[in-house]
Amino acid sequence: MPRRTMIEAIRDAMDVMMSRDDNVVVFGEDVGYFGGVFRASQGLQAKYGTSRCFDTPISELGIVGIAVGMAAYGLKPCVEIQFADYMYPAYDQIVSEAARLRYRSNGQFTCPLVVRMPTGGGIFGGQTHSQSPEALFTHVCGIKTVVPSNPRDAKGLLISAIEDPDPVIFLEPKRLYNGPFDGHHDRPVTPWSKHDLGEVDDGHFAIPLGSAAIRRPGEAVTILAYGTMVHVAETAATESGIDAEIIDLRSLLPLDLDTIEASVKKTGRCVIVHEATLTSGFGAELCALVQTRCFYHLEAPIVRVAGWDTPYPHAQEWDYFPGPARIGRALIETLEA
């Protein structure tokens, strides 16, 4: 299999779907001629023309509103919000229109729409370029929420998202766009060398939404993570020497509860890790689900490791992230409880 960065894998997914289905259209701010701020759509306009890959005005509300109308009439828009931090003007269109269209029309209309958003920190973007708003979407009935952690998953999940008949929020951890890192918050991210690139299948392949992946088998404790934090958790488990099982959720809604339940019942302990703020973060929902389904198997309280409950601190970005040291302490805490 060829090796690609996450950016290349995402571009390949859109290319594959545009070649297979003339109803797939790609658009957003600077998405057409320029290829997007991160170059995820580079070359698609030249290949498919300005009617299928095009630039829009700087209006997130307008981008998603137009996409909802297109989706209702049979097109399959895959739109880009330049940063997840910019999605708030479009939130009403996502929640009030896209998520509800199937239900308020009694199935007469559907909304096969994908909204791609670079999410999370890692580029010193500060408060307006580094937020992780996944919990704002998982709270809404009628939309799916996906967060890949590697290039192959990014391609397979994006293809599934575009083929899905309902709206999907596709959050792309920008810290992983150009390569892996060692998981430490105090070390800079370096681009992947070619031998480190993720192996990604050529052509069309889909990873079903709602399927988690066990990234590291273990017996002592279960770590639930997604996106960037999967890699940080792997570093924490390796450096601490703790036999942790790491589950990459991949899809937050729908959620693979069977895989989570089987792992926690086996280990008896659970640590939940995410980059977003702690209070009302998606980890709280995971905690409630694990508590409900695995109560009699838990040997210790569930522990959450998350971002600070503060506006995103530009100057302290690497301390704000849950790093290997913080996760390692949480692993020890739950093992000693």
Please report, as a single letter, which amino acid is at residue 295. F
For tokens 């700087």, what's the residue?
58
Asked if 129 is an active-site residue, the reply is yes
Query: Do the beta carbons of residue 199 and residue 3 sit within 8 Å?
Result: yes
- Dump the DSSP string for 70-89: HHHTT-EEEEE-SSGGG-GG
8-state DSSP, 226: -
Burial 215-228 (b: 16+ CB within 10 A, else e): bbebebbbbbbbbb
Residues facing residue 307 across a β-bridge: 277
In the block, tokens 């998982």 appear at 138
**What's the angle, vertex CA 236, arms to CA 233 and CA 238, rounded to 5?**
110
User: For residues 323 and 185, is the Cβ–Cβ distance under 8 A?
Assistant: yes
Other Cβ atoms less than 10 A from the Cβ of 312: the count is 20
Q: Which residues contact 335 (CB under 8 A, 6 or more apart)?
A: 220, 221, 242, 269, 300
Residues taking part in catalysis: 129
